[in-house]
Amino acid sequence: MRDIADMVASLGGMAQKQQLVALGARDLDLTGSVRRGETRRARQGWYTTLPDSDPRVRAVRVGGRLTGISAVVALDGWVLERNVLHVSLHDNAARMRTPCNRHIPIKGRRIHGLVLHWDDAAIGRRGSAVSVDLLDALVRVVIDEKFETAVAALDWALHFGLIDWMDFGETINRLPKRLQKIQHWVDENCESLPESLARVRIRQAGYEVVSQVRLGDLQRIDLVIAGCVGFEVDGRAYHLETFEADRSKDLDIAASHLHNIRVSANQVFTEWPRVMRAIETAVADRRGVRP
């Protein structure tokens, strides 16, 4: 008897019946694996070892594949809000089911947290069994999501080498003209989601921002704002292991004639107005325009 769970896991945790049969699985093996709880049927003809909450399982259960921001989330991309499931469907897709139950038909009704995209055959031929191609997903992100969310997704894809500049150009060319300006806001040097969000918001406030500015031979400042503020983002909740190094860096920033501001990722996510007021005050003080 073949170990179906191992076979499914070797295929990324999701597998179609024909894939398993090609590896030697029999109907009896598949049925037994499900009965023993080693695998589950995400949908007719699909077997999984992933939890029901996994977006890949939920997309397959609907009858399609991940697309847009959901495809980026599945690749551990830089995404802050993860509450909506975007599913790509063939233009002739049928028998769609709800993301939570493969036995309940959608029947055209709107489901909170689910967005369906009816894509053409070209998109259907690209990507994997559970997700559209990354370039197709990124195009969808720019069209569907907030501007700063889309910039962060493109920052992430370039920074980690998931796409190159040729891919980036192709992505931009596929966008409506009104959205192509995003190409001037993306920065492959960006190193984290909070840094990306901060950079975009500060630029939108009208300030010049430069990423990853060299500080001495070994260090770099996350962002230099208006040529006078060194802005650092702590990307993790606790920096105990780098506490001394971070404080030393703060001294070096101040010694470089820059006003130093260090914030946490959570402050970028949840207290941005307060962070922005600190930036505005620091720049104004440095420029000598305050009373």
Task: Return d(Cα 121, Cα 251) in angstroms, integer.
Answer: 57
DSSP 8-class letter at 200: H
In 3D, which of 192, 136, 131 has the Cα closest to residue 163?
Answer: 136
pLDDT of residue 142: 98
Polymer length of the chain: 291
Taking every pair of C-alpha atoms in the chain, what is the biggest distance, in angstroms? 82
| Residue 290, pLDDT score | 57
Q: pTM of the entire structure?
A: 0.87
Say what the pLDDT of residue 108 is.
65
Query: What are the residue boundaries of the structural domains of the chain, listed by start?
Result: 4-48, 55-184, 193-287
| DSSP secondary structure letter of residue 41 | E
Burial of residue 288 (number of CB atoms within 10 Å: 0-12, 13-18, 19+): exposed
Could you give the CA distance from residue 198 to residue 182 in angstroms, rounded to a whole number?
16
Instruction: Output the pLDDT for position 238.
Output: 46
Hey, what are 175's tokens? 């966008």
Q: What is the dihedral of CA 261, 266, 271, 277, to 10 degrees?
A: 10
CB atoms within 10 A of CB 80: 15
Which two tokens mark 6?
Answer: 């191992």
Residues 87-130 pLDDT 10s = 999 887 778 888 888 888 887 667 888 999 999 999 989 999 89
Q: Tokens for 106, please give them.
A: 């959608």
How many Å apart are CA 124 and CA 130, to the nearest integer? 11
According to CATH, the superfamily of the domain at 193-287 is VSR Endonuclease (3.40.960.10)
The residues of the chain scoring below 50 in pLDDT are 238, 291
- 165-175 per-position pLDDT tens digit: 999 999 999 99
pLDDT confidence of residue 256 = 79
Instruction: Please report the pLDDT score of residue 252 as a whole number.
Output: 79
